[in-house]
């Protein structure tokens, strides 16, 4: 199988710039040293960079395989989100990958409505502050 580079040419540097951590890549070598926050940070990073391949050409030379040319970001994110959330359902603590690509604590059973209800204010600044506080509370690693 041949390697076809993508738009990100130096993943270690990209991860350092986006996450602010070193020694997270390559995943298969570093995962054994990950903290929970490292793992969730990598999942969020991958969500921001994933795409579903749509169209391309098959290349037989040297058993190279597909060369994808057309991608769909939203479909890639949707597929990754479904798979990650299936795994997170099995995790010891309740988390979910949101549509915005953030690992959030899932509300405890019976409290879901508190986080989904409309904010009783017509002031957009108030709504934004409340939504920001809720998001900060639900983020992984929050205390």
| Of 6, 24, 4, 5, nearest in space to 15 by CA | 24
Domain that holds residue 114: 11-138
From first to last of its 143 residues, what are the pLDDT tens digits of the chain? 566 667 778 899 999 999 999 999 999 999 999 999 999 999 999 999 999 999 998 887 777 888 888 999 999 999 999 999 999 999 998 899 999 999 998 877 776 676 677 887 888 888 788 878 877 777 777 77
- Rounded to whole angstroms, how far apart are CA atoms 42 and 10? 15
Q: Does residue 143 fall inside a structural domain?
A: no
Instruction: Tell me whether residue 6 is in a domain.
Output: no
pTM: 0.79
Instruction: Indicate the number of domains in the chain.
Output: 1
Residue 71 DSSP SS3: strand
């Amino acid at each position: 199988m041949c390697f076809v580079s993508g738009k990100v040419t130096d993943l270690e540097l990209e991860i350092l710039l986006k996450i602010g951590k070193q020694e997270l890549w390559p995943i298969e070598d570093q995962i054994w040293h990950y903290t929970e926050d490292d793992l969730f940070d990598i999942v969020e990073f991958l969500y921001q960079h994933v795409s579903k391949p749509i169209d391309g050409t098959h290349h037989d030379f040297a058993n190279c395989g597909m060369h994808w040319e057309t991608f769909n970001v939203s479909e890639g994110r949707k597929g990754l989100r479904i798979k990650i959330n299936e795994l997170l359902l099995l995790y010891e603590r309740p988390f979910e990958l949101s549509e915005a690509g953030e690992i959030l604590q899932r509300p405890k059973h019976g409290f879901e409505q508190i986080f989904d209800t409309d904010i009783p204010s017509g002031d957009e600044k108030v709504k934004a502050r409340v939504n920001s506080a809720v998001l900060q509370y639900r983020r992984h690693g929050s205390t």
